[in-house]
Each structure stands twice: as C-alpha cells, then as structure tokens.
Homo-oligomer: A and B are copies of this chain.
Amino acid sequence: AICAAIRAFFDGAENKPLAGRKMIVTAGPTHEPIDPVRYIANRSSGKQGYAIARALAKLGAAVTLVSGPTRLPEPEGVTSVQVESAKDMLAATEAALPADAAIFAAAVADWRVASAADQKIKKQDGDLPDLKLAENPDILATISQLSEGRPNLVVGFAAETQNVLENARLKLGRKKCDWIIANDVSPETGTFGGDDNRVHILNGEGNQTLPLMSKEDVATALAARIAEFFHGK
C-alpha cells in the first residue's frame, strides 16, 4: 500500500505536468564539412540542451533530442537523433513534428562551405583554397514561421559575446519565436563547455534574468516555466 502510494505520488499528474506533451529539443554544435577530413565547428558542448531534454522528460514530456556531435551520453527516457550538419538537423527536427514545444538550444552553424570537396584538398594544389560559404537553413526561423503545424511554444537561444540583451531582443523579433534564452558566451565566462550558465529569458512581456547557476538548474527552471506556459492549455 505504501509502495503504491509512493508510486502514485511520483507518477501523479501533479509531478508530470507535461505528461501527454511532445517536445523537441536541439543541442550541441553542428559540423559543416569542408572536405572528407576537415570541417567547420563551434564550441558548443551540448550540456545545456541535454539538461533541458532531461528536465522536460522528468516533467512527463515525450522528448525528441536532436543532437549535433557531442561527447555526452544519450540521456535516458528521451528519443535521441544524432546529426552532423545544420541541414541534417533541420530535416531531423521537421521529421519530429508535430510537437507542443520546440526548444532550439543547438549552436547551429550559420554558414556551410558552399561546395564541400569529395577528396581531401591538397596543400600543394597551389594557392590557398577559397572557402566560399553559403547560408545554412535557419532552423529557428523556419519552425517559428510555419504556417501549419507550428508548435505552440518555440524557444530560441542567443549566444552572444556583446550587447547580450539588445542582440537577443532583436533576434526575438527577427525569428518570430516566442521566447529567447540569451546567454553571454564570451571566452572569459566559460559558458561554452563549462557547467554554469547565466541566462535571460526574453519574451513579448519582458526580460527575466536568472542568477548564475548550473546548466542543470537552468534546465530545471526553464522546464518549470514551460510547464507553467502549458498549464491549463
């Protein structure tokens, strides 16, 4: 009887406010190939996105985690999809729709190399190679502006090294997402690759600055905010 009561408590709706909700989380960097051995990357560790996926799953959501290359183990209780490039990440995100919410924590490369080489570019091929870049698909803007099947809540991240709040506010308007989670990733903050994060949540109603805390705690706070958003909907 006690066991049943405990089980009921932990399984109870009051502890699974996101039960029945489907959520997509993207995480990590993307790798954009230059040739078979070289690529353009960024310093995202994936820790924040993985923590958010776990926090949402803990609140009962059915989470699909679309992850670029990271060193992290796939979280339990979450459907993981591993991708490399931004194009692959968009395709995997679209394949995971429909969803109630989409949280885009990945640090997606803005650009890819326009025509990646099939063979390793040789140094002695003469001059320096010209890395012509092409714009990558904008996953956040694409999903935010879907005319059909847009998630009720679309959350973007802004990794900035200067004018953090101002740049994040501009991004919110440009992408047409619902919330932007802004963070300062200047090297001196240690956010990229580190365990702590100081974030600001921006939406149509204003800004909320959370204190510096672990990425786990940021994820828990964010998941609670998301549960609040869906409460009664």
Enumerate chain A interface residues (CB-CB to B < 8 A).
31, 34, 36-44, 71, 107, 109-111, 119-120, 122-124, 128-135, 159-162, 167, 170, 174, 185-187, 192
Contacts and interface: CB of A to CB of B under 8 A. Distances in A.
19 contacts: A37-B43, A37-B44, A37-B107, A37-B185, A38-B40, A38-B41, A39-B40, A39-B42, A40-B40, A41-B41, A111-B129, A119-B161, A120-B160, A122-B167, A123-B135, A124-B170, A128-B132, A128-B134, A128-B135
Contact of A159 (B44, B110, B120): B120
Given A39-B41, A42-B38, A185-B37, A162 B119 contact: yes
A128 B133 CA distance: 7
Q: How many copies does the complex hold?
A: 2
B134 A131 contact: no
A161 B38 CA distance: 12
A203 to B, nearest CB: 21
Give 5 nearest A-B pairs by CB, closest first: A131-B131, A110-B123, A120-B161, A128-B133, A38-B42
A109 B34 CA distance: 12
A37 B159 contact: yes
A170 to B, nearest CB: 8
B131 A133 contact: yes
A8 to B, nearest CB: 43
A88 B45 CA distance: 23
A37 to B, nearest CB: 5
Contacts of A111: 128-129
A25 B160 CA distance: 38
A211 B70 CA distance: 32
Nearest to A167: B122
A163 to B, nearest CB: 10
Contacts of A129: 111, 133
A142 to B, nearest CB: 14
Given A38-B40, A129-B133, 20 more contacts: A36-B186, A37-B43, A37-B44, A37-B159, A37-B185, A37-B192, A38-B41, A38-B43, A39-B41, A41-B41, A71-B71, A119-B162, A120-B162, A123-B135, A124-B170, A124-B174, A128-B132, A128-B134, A131-B131, A131-B133
